[in-house]
Amino acid sequence: MIDWLPELLVAILATVLAITLHEAAHGYAALALGDDTAQRLGRLSLNPIRHVDKVGTLILPGLLLAVQLLTIGRVEAMFGWAKPVPVDVRRLRNPRYGMVLVAAAGPAMNVFLAWCAAMLAHPLQELSGVLPPTAMDLGVRFILLSIMANLLLGLFNLLPIPPLDGGRILVGLLPWRAAMALARLERAGLVIVMLAIFVLPRISPSLDIMGGLISLVTGPGFRTILWLAGHGT
C-alpha cells in the first residue's frame, strides 16, 4: 500500500465528518425553531452522504490533502463545503434572531466535534499496549486532524462575511439599516471570501486571514480543546 494512503483516508474521513455534521446542525436547529424545510426535503440527517457535495466535500479536500502529503509530508490546511441545508427564514418563529441561532449551530457543532475527538484520546491511550503501532498512529492522526479540521471549519465560518455563518449572525445582531447593507453582500460573498483567502495574503502577510486562523487553531484553540477534554493545562 502507498505509504501516505492510510493517512489520506483518515484525513478525508475527518474532513467529511466536520463539514457534513456542521450542515446537519443547521437543519436540526432550524427544525427546533419552527422550520421543517430540511426535514421535508430529506436533508435532516446525521448521515454524511446526504450532505456530500462531490466537489466541495470530496474532490477539493481530497486534492488539497493529497498535494500537501506529497509535497510537504503533512496536512497544514483544508478547505471545502457541503450542500447547504435549506432553511426558510420565514418559517422560523422569530425569523431574525432564529436565523442567528441556526447560523451559530454549525460552528457550535464543530467545537463539540473537536472536543469529542480530544476525548477519544483517553480510550486510545488505554489501548496503547493492545493495538499494533500502525493502528495507534492512525488513531492519533485521526484525533489530531479531527480537532484541527473542526476548529478551522468553525472559526472560518464565523468570519463576518455573508453567506458564511458569521455574516448571517452579524446580520441578525446589527441595527436594521446596517444589517440590510451587510445582507446585500451575500450575492458576492463567495467572491469576497476567495479574494480574502487567496489575494489579500499576496498584498501583505498581515492580511493572511487563513494563516491567522491556522495559527489560532494550532496554538490556543488546540490547547483549549485538549484542556477541556481533560488532557492537562
Across all residues in the chain, what is the average pLDDT? 86
Rounded distance, CA 98 to CA 32, Å? 10
User: Is residue 173 pLDDT above 70, yes or no?
Assistant: yes
Is 23 one of the annotated active-site residues of the chain? Answer: yes
30, 38 contact by CB (below 8 A): yes
Residue of 128, 189, 145 lying closest to 164 (CA atoms): 189
pTM of the model: 0.86
Supply the pLDDT for residue 1: 46
Upper half-sphere CA count for residue 186 (Cβ side, 13 Å): 15
User: Is residue 225 pLDDT above 80, yes or no?
Assistant: yes
Q: Which whole number is the average pLDDT over 209-231?
A: 91
Residue in 7, 23, 76, 186 annotated catalytic: 23
What's the pLDDT tens digit per position in 115-158?
Answer: 999 999 999 888 887 888 888 888 999 999 999 989 999 999 99
Report residue 233's pLDDT band, with 50, 70 and 90 as the boundaries.
low
Residue with cell 421543517: 36
What's the pLDDT tens digit per position in 38-97?
Answer: 999 888 887 878 887 888 777 877 787 777 777 877 665 566 677 888 999 999 999 989
Taking CA atoms, 203 is separated from 159, 164, 214, in Å, by 20, 23, 19
Displacement of CA 226 from its chain's centroid (Å): 18
Upper half-sphere CA count for residue 44 (Cβ side, 13 Å): 14
